[in-house]
Amino acid sequence: MDGVATGADVGALETDSQTVAEWVDAAGRYITSFLDGLEDAPAIGPDLPVDMVGRFAMPPKEEPGRFDVLLDTFGDAARYGMETAGPRHFAYIPGGGLVSSAIAELLARLVNRQTALATPAPGLVAMEQGVLRWLCTEFGQPAGAGGLVTTGASMATLCVVAAVRHHRLGEDFGNGTIYVTEHTHHSVAKAARIAGFRPDRLRIVPDTADLRMDVAAATRQIAADRAAGLRPFLLVGTAGTTSTGTVDPLLHLAALARREDLWLHVDAAYGGFFQLTQRGRDRLIGIEAADSIALDPHKGLFLPHGTGVLLVRDPGVLRAAFAEDAPYLRDVGAAAMLPNFADLGIELTREFRGLRLWLPLHLHGVAAFRAALDEKLDLAAHAHDELRRMKGVHVPWRPELSTVTFRDVAGNTATHRLLEQIHASGQALLSSTSVRGQHVLRMCVLSHRSRAEHVDDALEVIRDAASRDSPVTSGVNRDRM
């Protein structure tokens, strides 16, 4: 063909085993040097210069490239922005990214099995289902419960809102109402919008002084909505809000949902995996009564980004909403006792997501996860105690889980400046939020790599910055970048 000027041979996409071994070697060297560098990597990498954007965004050439050169380009591109894999990442909700999970991912992609339906890969689907069953047990769900591994909690939430709409409201769902608080993650509002609900069908229930859903107010709102001809159907509680890590009163919400015949969904994307610890179970009490639970293994199970989980008491509700019969899939059949994941969610073709969970859990053992999560609760409690002792810092709430919030006593502008100073040190990556009009900094301890020494480094930087009045950072800290 004229268009192919390079004379590439038609077999060029096959790779001989020696070349594969060289690639794996080179990738292995990158992996170890990346991991070795994390301890000393600054929390925030350099800014990406404008001319580099063009270099990284370069379209592919007709001619083949060299693996080592391309690997260098990738490694170079990865240096910019935030070091979200490192131990000094306390912003948003970190997770770290277990290397065992990354290796699992490579292997899962290598065999390239389709796990939409059970028949093409029954052994692999059984592995994934085993992890889901284990999670159901940890969350006190009954024997018939099930779940779905998604790309994140947003996708899990969309699945559940769409399925519960179908289950509870049928085709005429315009009058259905959903109950949240202003601290509920925006993925619920997004899911409601995608599922076809008008914005005012999302009812923002007032919260109490400690930022939890006010159950009495929810009860009144539900009654008023029913009286007005609306159809309350879904109550959303949060097990660890993103801003402050607050847990809604789940036991009371469960009782309310039962009384009012609402579906109780618990967004446990951030806080859910603390269920693996005794203290966490005490704080999340009531979660076992949920009809559905959204989890983010890429947060509290320390997995690389891109893995969420939806657990449901009755997977039949998902099946009723999502199972389709297609003539081109009829010969695939059903495998005994194994779910067809495509029937439980929105996606059809899906990679073998289960290995990302299965390998780390079996390899490290569950006790290692429990211990790491326990440690994060300890570290957050320690950070809270230290912050309370600092001059110039106000700590508005005690952490229930592993998110500590604080602000500069001098107000919003000073708090903003405080964050800039902390970041200039390179020793900690934090983030900010706004609660009741107040600018608040948050330190979320959840990376498996964040240990006592990293938390102490961060606290030292905060202490230093908070005690200084000048808005500009000192040269000493700059040097540590």
Ligand X SMILES: *Cc1c(COP(=O)(O)O)cnc(C)c1O
Q: Which residues bind ligand X (CB under 6 A)?
A: 93, 152-154, 185, 187, 238, 242, 267, 269-270, 296, 308
Is 183 or 313 the residue whose CB approaches ligand X more closely?
183
Is 245 or 426 the residue whose CB approaches ligand X more closely?
245
Is 421 or 431 the residue whose CB approaches ligand X more closely?
431
Q: Is 397 helix (H, G, I), strand (E, B) or coil?
A: coil
Is 249 or 308 the residue whose CB approaches ligand X more closely?
308
Q: How many CB atoms lie within 10 A of CB 253?
A: 27
Is 135 or 390 the residue whose CB approaches ligand X more closely?
135
Smallest distance from the beta carbon of 392 to ligand X, in angstroms? Answer: 29
Give the residues across from 70 on adjacent strands.
none
d(C-alpha 365, C-alpha 125), whole Å = 21
Which helix (DSSP H) or strand (DSSP E) does residue 101 occupy?
helix 99-111
Smallest distance from the beta carbon of 172 to ligand X, in angstroms? Answer: 29
For the four alpha carbons of 170, 171, 175 and 177, in that order, the dihedral sign comes to: positive
User: Would you state the structure tokens that stand for residue 453, as one six-digit string?
Assistant: 């020494």
d(C-alpha 6, C-alpha 60), whole Å = 14
Is 303 or 390 the residue whose CB approaches ligand X more closely?
303
Smallest distance from the beta carbon of 232 to ligand X, in angstroms? Answer: 22
Smallest distance from the beta carbon of 441 to ligand X, in angstroms? Answer: 17
Count of residues in the chain: 481
> 348 and 117 in contact (C-beta within 8 Å)?
no
Smallest distance from the beta carbon of 127 to ligand X, in angstroms? Answer: 22
Smallest distance from the beta carbon of 114 to ligand X, in angstroms? Answer: 23
Is 150 or 177 the residue whose CB approaches ligand X more closely?
150
* Distance from the Cα of residue 437 to its chain's centroid: 26
Smallest distance from the beta carbon of 186 to ligand X, in angstroms? Answer: 8
Is 119 or 432 the residue whose CB approaches ligand X more closely?
432
Encoded amino acid at 420, one letter: E
Is 442 or 454 the residue whose CB approaches ligand X more closely?
442
Smallest distance from the beta carbon of 96 to ligand X, in angstroms? Answer: 15
Smallest distance from the beta carbon of 271 to ligand X, in angstroms? Answer: 7
Kindly list the distances between the CA atom of residue 237 and the CA atoms of 178, 234, 278, 299, 405, in Å, as whole numbers in the listed order. 11, 10, 21, 18, 21
Smallest distance from the beta carbon of 158 to ligand X, in angstroms? Answer: 9
Is 270 or 341 the residue whose CB approaches ligand X more closely?
270
Smallest distance from the beta carbon of 154 to ligand X, in angstroms? Answer: 3
Q: Which residue is nearest to ligand X (CB)?
A: 152
Is 181 or 425 the residue whose CB approaches ligand X more closely?
181
